[in-house]
Structure 1
Amino acid sequence: MNTNLPDKLYYSIGEVAKAFDVNASLIRFWEKEFDIIHPKKNKKGNRLFTKNDIECFKNIYYLVKVKGYTLEGAKQAIGKKGIDTTTEEIDVVKKLEDIKNELIKLKMSFDEFGTHQETKLE
């Protein structure tokens, strides 16, 4: 989950959906299901999500899409652990994914280096 959103006060539902690679309808559904999400609405009724809402979506996404929780299970986990604990867990997973990617890059460069060395020896 890589949410590269620009730094601003409010995000449209389209921006949020794109950041999480889901449909806007899922964002609306999660908004209704989880009482931790409180978007503002403009005069037209468009939802405007804050950074706090984005953090909540990160937690929900992680629990439901990554960990495989049901919606009820995710609600209970957020209620028991609190949003901060889940956020910390997500941060640790993100750091581990980054480390894994760096290690894969290093392995590929070593493999490539070994291939070049074998060619020179022949």
Structure 2
Amino acid sequence: MQADLPEKRYYGIGEVARAFDVNTSLIRFWEKEFDVLQPKKNAKGNRKFTPSDIQNLELIYHLVKERGFTLEGAKLHLKENRQKSLETYEIIRKMEWVKAELIKIKEQL
């Protein structure tokens, strides 16, 4: 899953939750569970997610929701293979995009 967010420096938790089609409580829960998520907080305590936080959320979403990892399994996987996981996830995203484009071409024929 790729979050469909505009290019910005910071994203609110509501924007992020809508992009991933999950509740804001799940985003807050993942923030507590995964050390790689460190959103900045303003004076009111509102979370502001950076593009790198979004990338980490995409990877966590992929591992937990799409591949079926447990939270402990996803944490372990991120600790041991973070760079490899990011590369693999990027390849999967590109392949899904190519597949979608090919389906569009097929439907036009």
Provide the rounded CA distance (Å) in 1 between the counterparts of 2:96 and 2:36: 27
Which shows bigger deviation, 62-71 or 2-11?
2-11
**In the alignment, structure 1 residue 60 sits paired with structure 2 residue 67:** no
Provide the rounded CA distance (Å) in 2 between the counterparts of 1:24 and 1:42: 17
The alignment's TM-score, normalised by the length of structure 1, stands at 0.83
Provide the rounded CA distance (Å) in 1 between the counterparts of 2:43 and 2:49: 15
1:87-102 map, 5 Å: 87-102=86-101
- Who is 2:105 aligned against? 106
- Who is 2:84 aligned against? 85
**Unpaired stretches in structure 2, ≥5 consecutive residues:** none
- Who is 2:41 aligned against? 41
- Who is 2:19 aligned against? 19
Q: What RMSD, in angstroms, separates the aligned Cα atoms of the two structures?
A: 1.1
Identity rate of aligned residues, in percent? Answer: 55
The alignment's TM-score, normalised by the length of structure 2, stands at 0.93
SS, match of residue 6 in structure 2: coil
Aligned residues: 109
Q: Which runs of 4+ in 1 moved over 3 A?
A: none
Bigger Rg, which one: 1
Provide the rounded CA distance (Å) in 2 between the counterparts of 1:19 and 1:4: 6
Q: 1:2 Cα shift?
A: 2.8
SS, match of residue 9 in structure 1: coil
